[in-house]
Amino acid sequence: MRMRALVKSSGLRVGTPWIACWRLCAVLLVCLGSVRNARAAATLLLEEPYSYDGSFAGTGHVAVYLSNVCSSTPVILRPCGDGETGVVLSRYDGIAGYDWIAIPLIPYLYAVEKPEDVPLFADTKLVAFLRDQYRRDYLESLAPDRADGGTPAGNWHEMVGSSYDRTIYGFEIETTPEQDARLISKLNREPNIQRYNFVKRNCADFVREVINFYYPHALHRSIIGDLGVTTPKQIAKMMVRYDHHHPELEGADFLLPQVPGALRRSKPIHGVLESVMASKKYMLPIVVLHPYIGGGLLVEYFGHRRFDPSRNALIMASDSQLSAPMSRDQRQTFQSRMEEMSHDALLDAPKLDASKTDASEIDAAKPDAANERKGKDVKAWNHVQAGAQLGLDASGEPLLRVHSGDDSALVGLTRTNIQSASESAELAARLMEARLRQELWTSSYHKVSPKDVERDLTLFRQLIEQSAKASSNASASATAGLQ
């Protein structure tokens, strides 16, 4: 209550994510695996839809992160020890016959064990590589190799590296060690046998049951808004409402950005009725033939739409700090700085160019010059990365070996190894430029932390300077050789 009073006196709206700054920073430190939170919490993770779900139903996925609960195996829970950061519990169908699976937080989000191993720019090939590496190390019992030693099919990959596919919203509520202990005992004691059913026992039903175990009747289905089906958006909406009615629980909301890269961006999340009513071919006949029912559904539909999980959400930056979403003015400033650096560096196609891209492929009409350049740079780097050989350095961080004819060069893929492990600063700068253009993309910049863009611009400038220095040294050596 004291922190909420301070927020109110500062002019910020009470009940929004702008609460208890010291506490929120601690939440994010936990989320990035830096330290164990001093207190227990349950965080509902609302995950945007992607792929077929994004194109059709659009209901997304939901899981629950428990900061004070860890696991001995993916299906046996225990209290966390010092330095441990908790697990994410989620329900998917078809995973070794189990109803729920527990995955440590960082692997669940990024398919790596440490925050410093998260790549700066992801594509399908890299994500599959990281997921399979983690599976072979920790999930063989759930998803064993195929008979030929290859990667198995199935939904196991949905539980590893979720942030490559989706933007994720976190809605956190305080718990106690005693509540955590009772949940651990309950889930370990009861049979963990697959119960998935889209209508009655889906992922949202599981999270609803977990949160209601801590706080009975906190979450419930929407009989009208979701036609009786529990949906991720509905229980997130209920979570926010419950938090606002119980300020003593010190709730918090935040956004985990989708990792920049060549994977398609996730879509806004919907409820069941939203998906149906958004289509005029369904909405108009209902209203015309059944005006009373149709009118009631429309009222519920527009009421359901008012809940926007991204509204005012603080962004979790890669340095474990919170920041406000990027503003339009900030984006324009960042865009100008990046264009100036890129122009001054004359970053044409890299000497080690693995791209076979036809210019006609990437010269498709775009809304403006910046968007056109973004499409070219991201697609060009995607071709380079897709044609390269993936590996891990001595610290376990991902890197690329880019080939061109008889030449090759290593390129570090993380914030900590892109300078130390890269043999070509020019290629590394190309990677950073692709990342920046993805972050500053007009349709998604509001889901990016300005702090991350600032750090990326600094790193981009350093790589450009390294590239210029290497080029100058090479020219001097060549001149000396001729003399």
Banded model confidence at residue 80, pLDDT cuts 50, 70, 90: very high
Task: Measure the CA–CA gap between 157 and 111, rounded to whole angstroms.
Answer: 9
Average pLDDT rounded to a whole number, residues 186-190: 97
Task: Measure the CA–CA gap between 230 and 202, rounded to whole angstroms.
Answer: 7
Task: Measure the CA–CA gap between 193 and 197, rounded to whole angstroms.
Answer: 13
Backbone dihedral angles phi then psi of residue 329, each to the nearest 5 degrees: -65, -40
As a whole number of Å, the end-to-end CA separation of the chain is 76
* Predicted local distance difference test score (pLDDT) of residue 483: 58
* Predicted local distance difference test score (pLDDT) of residue 21: 41
Q: Looking at per-residue confidence, does 363 or 430 come out higher?
A: 430
Domain stops at, among 283, 316, 349: 316
- Statement to judge: residues 360 and 246 lie in one domain: no
* Predicted local distance difference test score (pLDDT) of residue 229: 77
Q: Looking at per-residue confidence, does 411 or 298 come out higher?
A: 411
Banded model confidence at residue 180, pLDDT cuts 50, 70, 90: very high
* Predicted local distance difference test score (pLDDT) of residue 372: 56
- Statement to judge: residues 264 and 330 lie in one domain: no
User: What rounded mean pLDDT belongs to the chain?
Assistant: 80
Residue 294, in any domain of the structure? no
Task: Measure the CA–CA gap between 145 and 167, rounded to whole angstroms.
Answer: 29
Banded model confidence at residue 476, pLDDT cuts 50, 70, 90: low
Element (H, E) at 388: none
- Statement to judge: residues 259 and 358 lie in one domain: no
- Statement to judge: residues 460 and 388 lie in one domain: yes
How remote is the C-alpha of 430 from its chain's centroid? Answer: 23
Residue 276, in any domain of the structure? no
Query: With 80 as the cut, is the pLDDT of residue 261 above it?
Result: yes
Lowest mean pLDDT: which of 196-205, 261-270, 436-445?
A: 196-205
Residue 186, in any domain of the structure? yes
Q: Looking at per-residue confidence, does 90 or 357 come out higher?
A: 90
- Statement to judge: residues 357 and 243 lie in one domain: no
- Statement to judge: residues 263 and 356 lie in one domain: no
Residue 278, in any domain of the structure? no
Q: Looking at per-residue confidence, does 94 or 335 come out higher?
A: 335
- Statement to judge: residues 107 and 255 lie in one domain: yes
Query: With 60 as the cut, is the pLDDT of residue 197 above it?
Result: yes
* Predicted local distance difference test score (pLDDT) of residue 206: 95
Q: Which of 37-46, 70-79, 281-290, 298-307 has the highest mean pLDDT?
A: 70-79
Lowest mean pLDDT: which of 75-84, 104-113, 171-180, 190-199?
A: 190-199
Residue 280, in any domain of the structure? no
Average pLDDT rounded to a whole number, residues 179-200: 92
Total domains in the fold of the chain: 2
* Predicted local distance difference test score (pLDDT) of residue 291: 53
Domain stops at, among 284, 316, 348: 316
Note the pLDDT tens digit of each residue in 300-349. 555 545 678 887 788 988 877 788 999 999 999 999 999 999 887 754 44
Residue 289, in any domain of the structure? no
- Statement to judge: residues 159 and 257 lie in one domain: yes
Query: With 60 as the cut, is the pLDDT of residue 237 above it?
Result: yes
- Statement to judge: residues 362 and 471 lie in one domain: yes
- Statement to judge: residues 37 and 124 lie in one domain: yes
Domain stops at, among 316, 334, 349: 316
Name the H helices within 256-290.
272-277, 280-289
Q: Where in the sequence is the domain holding 256, given as residue range(s)? A: 2-269+309-316
Residue 293, in any domain of the structure? no
- Statement to judge: residues 258 and 378 lie in one domain: no
Residue whose C-alpha is closest to residue 202's, from 234, 154, 175 = 234
Residue 440, in any domain of the structure? yes
Task: Measure the CA–CA gap between 450 and 245, rounded to whole angstroms.
Answer: 32
- Statement to judge: residues 456 and 374 lie in one domain: yes
